[in-house]
Structure 1
Amino acid sequence: MANRPVTLTFLGASGTVTGSKFLVTIGERKVLLDAGVFQGEKEWRALNWADFPVDPATIDAVVLTHAHTDHVSYLPALVRDGFSGPVWATEGTRQLAEIVLRDAGRLQEEQAEQAKREGWSKHEEPKPLFTVEDVERTLPLFRTIDFDEDVDLGEGLTGRWTRAAHILGSASVRLELPETSVLFSGDLGRHDHPLLKPRGTPQGATYVLCESTYGDREHPEPELAHEPMAQAISRTIDRGGLVVIPAFAIDRTQAVLRALVQLMREDRIPRVPVVVDSPMALRVLDVYRDESLGELREDITVDDFTDLPQLIEARTGDESRALNRRFDPMIIIASSGMAEGGRVLHHLARLLPDKRNCVILTGFQAKGTRGRDLEDGARSVKINGHHIRVRAEIVRSNEFSVHGDATDLIDWLRDLDQEPETVFIVHGEKEVAEAFGDRIADELDWTAVVPRYGEVVSLIPGSADPPDLDVDRPEPPDRGEEPKE
């Protein structure tokens, strides 16, 4: 591998939070770090449908940090277009990715069919981004690894996965090459995850990619845990309303359930029915029950997020639709967390127009998503071609984010055993990433750069930078008006 050019190309999560894709090229060999879809603003989502900047058939391997959709859900599209190499991941990530990808393939097909049937797509023949068949061709490619063990990825390339405590199975990934090394933080958890063992400290590297989702802010440390959520639930139930909690199926639903168990045990909220209306979240719950993974904190058991007086599991479509006939006070947890798809949409369409009801947002809402529109006070949102009036109370609960805040991220960098040549700030909205880069420069006195989408850099210190990849870069939207569906 000596004397061969080694480059890094930023094909996602650069100038935006989602779409994680970073291409490491060693001579003719190509290894892709993560393979996620873009979410949020329309300009970025359009890239999901564009031709991939390099031929997927020429990619030798994919290395995954974790199973969130913006890190794994482009895999079936790569396979459809010719990728056939191994997909390296932890066992927890493999199990969760299987659930995520099968659910995504089904939703892609259903949404394309619905758009065609109801005529709300601008395309005469709307197509899914990928199909269930593409997913089934993807799953056999997974190869699992253990945390904190060197893995020979072939041709002198070694990978090592270190616990990131973001979601079950999540890791930071370090790639070692004969002449250089690169460390990708993946999504980093907070200093105290509510369910999982704490994150580890990876070995440092010549170059570091660090996420910056919350790079310009600090998470509050309330005196009384989940108090805003408890108050919102109590006043909603008092006025006869229903509570809807959009939540990601992985980790977020389980953390919300744990909070509700705590609040009911402490008599801080009424003991009303709690509905998990997400077959995917319920399948994920089964993975969390797998003790052989060894990822839960020592002081946590499954009862801590399932021991509710009235827990309703809506696994089938009929069970979900039956909830539309109920108006008694209850708490409904459904995906997706940014209200971009899934069963939460029909609950929002039904309940948003009634001021007795409440929507509790439990995590980061990317620009251009319905969740962000609700957070920003939108008077209406568009769901399946219809504009829905927003009269329900909208509450933001900051305690559920399992992304590290700015101090968590700085601490992770500071703990590395060497100063990198460059820290590339990724997975952040442009202004946030730039603010975090300034903090790195001020506090650590390190070189920090916010890369552009399509930018190519050399990973051999002192060598000339290669030209950028010839790709279309989305222009940022007018900040006065977010793009809509």
Structure 2
Amino acid sequence: MANDKSLVQLLFIGAAGTVTGSKTLLQTHKHKLLIDCGLFQGSKSERKLNKLKKLPFNPSELDGIILTHGHLDHSGFLPVLVKKGFTGPVYATTPSRDITGVILQDSAHIQEEDAREANRKRSEGSKPLKPLYRQKHVNRTMDLFQTYGDNEWVQLDDDVRFRFHKSGHILGSALVELEVEGHRFVFSGDLGQREPLILDGPTTLPEADYIIMEATYGDKLHDNSVSPYQALEEVVKHTFEKGGNLVIPSFAVERAQEIILILNNLMDEKSIPALPIYLDSPMGSGITEIFQRHRDWHNLSEAECDSLTKNVHIIGSFEETLNVLNADGPKSKIIIAGSGMATGGRVLYYLKQLVGDSKNTVLLVGHQAAGTRGHQLSSGAATTEIEGEEFEVKAEISQIGSLSAHADQGDLLWWLGKFERPPKRVFLNHGEEAATRALKKLIEDTYHFPVTVAERNRIYPL
């Protein structure tokens, strides 16, 4: 840090040029705060960044970490910092803390399993591979959480305070309004659409000196010409008429609950056949319980909230997974399974069984990052590799953009336009190159705000 005591610096350690690994360091002459602490996901080259030996900061020197929400690409690196000496507070909303706990436990379990499997295949005498972190590190991490409500100022020091505002992305998600030594920052985190299905829309704010804003869909508009109800109705009916199964790779947080709600409503209205719904995501069932606990953070009625477990077969063990496709009842089944980008989890078993038959449908219901299996499928790949085996893709691949938890280009521009005075600068992060480039030009042309596309590991003095 330079000697200029008024200097504030931003350092983007992740989610710069990509949509994963969100970590932004804000530093002054006496404060070090990290906003979000996510894992890199997607391509192998990005995942390698999780294992870098040297970080651009000392975890033990952080004053705290402010978490915008519980998704793995925003929270999944927390136990690594704890392993490396971080003992400070992690600030979050209460639902975000609960969701993070479920997600981190699942992440640690997968890493431990992957390390065991990799070591089983390694030659004798090879140095064993270790997981990034274990369950014990997750337990230590969760002990550090301090939770706060929506729109509640939290005073960290005489000249540092922040508050959360609902962002409409997932349950408990928040944008962060942070005042540091006379500078006002707004970190958007991940913004939801203007009118999310089961949440309040993103909070708009009147002013900020610096806006750090996501750009996931900075170059795209969601297809909202067809409602998610109509789109899901058409896919279910079409698959049923073919006599096939519908498999939905789904994010455990928000998306699985939205899909179950829509399916149950459509069945109640007799708009689709009464088909069995299988939720094969241990994490998804855990998140559903959190939904039912935090009813002040979503706009579902009590009956709708209770319906999240109605007509749904919750699959626990993998032994139960093996029996789903042969279960008694209608030939066609609706299977919701993690992960949402089809990079891992139980959905891989179903894809291996179903992707080679044209009667079946794979329905993608969220952002598919470059390098993921979901992105390959959405791009029309003729084959897909699953656990070392090549499978021909004959199943119908469908996608519903209107169910996205992310704001599209129009939503992002709308949210930014609600600021009543121009910021000194807008930083765009959490977006791939084409998205950030397109959004930067649009903002400059529309509002004439100065815009910088964040570069990873570059320091920005303010």
Class of the TM-score when normalised by the shorter of the 2 chains: over 0.9
Deviation, 1:228, is 3.4
CA contact (8 A) 1:362 1:400 kept: yes
Q: Does 1:287 align with 2:260?
A: no
CA contact (8 A) 2:198 2:300 kept: no
Deviation, 1:41, is 2.2
**Residue of structure 1 equivalent to 2:218:** 215
Question: Mean Cα displacement is larger for which, 231-240 or 55-64?
Answer: 231-240
Deviation, 1:241, is 1.3
Q: Does 1:196 align with 2:194?
A: no
**Residue of structure 2 equivalent to 1:74:** 77
**Residue of structure 2 equivalent to 1:479:** none
Q: Does 1:252 align with 2:255?
A: yes
3-state SS of paired residue (2:434): helix
In the aligned structure 2, how far is the partner of 1:228 from the partner of 1:197? 22
Amino acid at match of 2:10: L
Amino acid at match of 1:26: T
Question: Mean Cα displacement is larger for which, 357-366 or 56-65?
Answer: 56-65
**Residue of structure 2 equivalent to 1:481:** none
Distance 1:300 1:432, change over 3 A: farther
**Residue of structure 1 equivalent to 2:450:** 447
CA contact (8 A) 2:342 2:348 kept: yes
CA contact (8 A) 1:226 1:397 kept: no
The 4+ residue runs of structure 1 with deviation greater than 6 A are none
Q: Give me the CA root mean square deviation.
A: 2.1
CA contact (8 A) 2:228 2:403 kept: no
Deviation, 1:391, is 1.5
**Residue of structure 1 equivalent to 2:142:** 139
Q: How does 1:53-452 map to 2 (within 5 A)?
A: 53-118=56-121, 125-154=128-157, 156-223=159-226, 225-291=228-294, 293-297=295-299, 301-303=303-305, 305-306=307-308, 308=310, 310-326=311-327, 328-452=331-455
**Residue of structure 2 equivalent to 1:465:** none
Deviation, 1:270, is 1.6
In the aligned structure 2, how far is the partner of 1:223 from the partner of 1:315? 34
In the aligned structure 1, how far is the partner of 2:141 from the partner of 2:301? 36
In the aligned structure 2, how far is the partner of 1:322 from the partner of 1:203? 54
Distance 1:242 1:77, change over 3 A: same
CA contact (8 A) 2:163 2:177 kept: yes
- Where structure 1 has 5 or more consecutive residues not aligned to the other structure, the ranges are 460-485
Amino acid at match of 2:37: A
Structure 1 length normalisation: TM-score?
0.89
3-state SS of paired residue (2:297): coil
3-state SS of paired residue (1:381): strand
Distance 1:407 1:358, change over 3 A: same
3-state SS of paired residue (2:143): helix
3-state SS of paired residue (1:161): strand
Question: Mean Cα displacement is larger for which, 394-403 or 364-373?
Answer: 394-403
**Residue of structure 1 equivalent to 2:47:** 45
In the aligned structure 1, how far is the partner of 2:86 from the partner of 2:136? 15
* CA deviation profile, 1:136-183 (whole Å, cap 9, x unmatched): 110000000111121012352101111101111011001101231211
Distance 1:224 1:29, change over 3 A: closer
In the aligned structure 1, how far is the partner of 2:292 from the partner of 2:174? 20
Distance 1:124 1:275, change over 3 A: farther
Deviation, 1:125, is 2.9
Amino acid at match of 2:119: K
Deviation, 1:238, is 2.1
3-state SS of paired residue (2:224): coil
**Residue of structure 2 equivalent to 1:18:** 20
* CA deviation profile, 1:262-297 (whole Å, cap 9, x unmatched): 222232322110000011111111111115x50121
In the aligned structure 1, how far is the partner of 2:60 from the partner of 2:151? 30
Q: How many residues align?
A: 455
In the aligned structure 2, how far is the partner of 1:296 from the partner of 1:67? 16
CA contact (8 A) 1:9 1:454 kept: yes
Report percent identity of matched pairs: 37
- Where structure 2 has 5 or more consecutive residues not aligned to the other structure, the ranges are none
Amino acid at match of 1:27: H
**Residue of structure 2 equivalent to 1:463:** none
Question: Mean Cα displacement is larger for which, 383-392 or 86-95?
Answer: 383-392
Question: Mean Cα displacement is larger for which, 373-382 or 161-170?
Answer: 373-382
